[in-house]
């Protein structure tokens, strides 16, 4: 089969203006809970797209760790490529894709760093080995080989056997504060439903886009 012949119909559900919440965070919460109830693996996985000073878009999968009406939270190394992009251009986009439900959610907004206390609280909730990895990995920086990383992990394991481990100063969270949501529901014959929420002066307006 040629790659151009790969296609399927979408027919699981519909998305109508009469079915959605007035608030996009409520709508997202409803869909996210349905993704969890459907036992989708990594339902909190989302593509994070950023763009730095060089105007080169960059995308990668990260994990949503918290959300409320303030925004969507994720964590990373402050020297990673995504963090450097956000330092230069604190705007980003998120994409959730739940294949089993034939759904996507796109979110766009401004990004801000979390407080040191928020970082510490989350860091202490992580498993020990994940904490060690945060200290040991110079994320997005060149390393000569895997053995170098494993040696760094061993060194930090030994260090933190004898002293408390706190959140590294070079690691922490970001909150994307949305001004745009799009909820996409796959439909037959490519006539997909696309409902958008756009924020202006603290008010959300709802619209529909052509597929």
Helix, strand, or coil here: 175? Answer: strand
Per residue of the chain (211 residues), what is the pLDDT tens digit? 888 888 888 888 999 999 899 999 999 999 999 999 999 999 999 999 999 999 999 999 999 999 999 999 999 999 999 999 999 999 999 999 999 999 999 999 999 999 999 999 999 999 999 999 999 999 999 999 999 999 999 999 999 988 889 999 999 999 999 999 999 999 999 999 999 999 999 999 999 999 9
Between CA 22 and CA 8 the distance in angstroms is 32
Whole-model pTM? 0.94
Q: CA of 118: how far to CAs of 125, 160, 167, 173, 209, in Å?
A: 11, 21, 10, 8, 37
Kindly tell me the sign of the dihedral angle through the C-alpha atoms of 23, 25, 31, 34: negative
CA angle 28, 117, 163 (to 5 degrees): 125
Between CA 96 and CA 94 the distance in angstroms is 7
- Main-chain phi, psi angles of 41, to 5 degrees: -65, 130
Active site residues: 190
116 close to 211: Cβ distance less than 8 angstroms: no
């Amino acid at each position: 089969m040629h790659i151009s012949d790969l296609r399927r119909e979408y027919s699981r559900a519909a998305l109508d203006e009469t079915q959605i919440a007035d608030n996009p965070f409520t709508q997202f919460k409803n869909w996210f809970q349905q993704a969890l109830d459907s036992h989708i693996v990594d339902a909190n996985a989302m593509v994070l797209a950023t763009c730095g000073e060089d105007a080169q878009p960059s995308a990668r999968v990260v994990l949503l760790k918290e959300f409320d009406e303030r925004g969507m939270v994720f964590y990373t190394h402050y020297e990673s490529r995504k963090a450097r992009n956000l330092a230069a251009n604190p705007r980003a986009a998120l994409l959730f894709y739940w294949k089993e439900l034939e759904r996507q959610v796109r979110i766009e907004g401004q990004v801000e760093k979390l407080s040191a206390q928020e970082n510490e609280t989350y860091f202490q909730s992580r498993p020990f080995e994940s904490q060690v990895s945060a200290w040991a990995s110079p994320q997005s920086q060149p390393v000569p080989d895997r053995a170098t990383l494993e040696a760094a992990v061993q060194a930090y394991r030994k260090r933190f056997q004898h002293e408390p481990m706190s959140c590294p100063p070079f690691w922490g969270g970001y909150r994307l504060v949305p001004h745009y949501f799009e909820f996409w529901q796959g439909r037959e014959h490519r006539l997909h439903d696309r409902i958008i929420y756009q924020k202006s002066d603290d008010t959300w307006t709802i619209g529909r886009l052509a597929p």
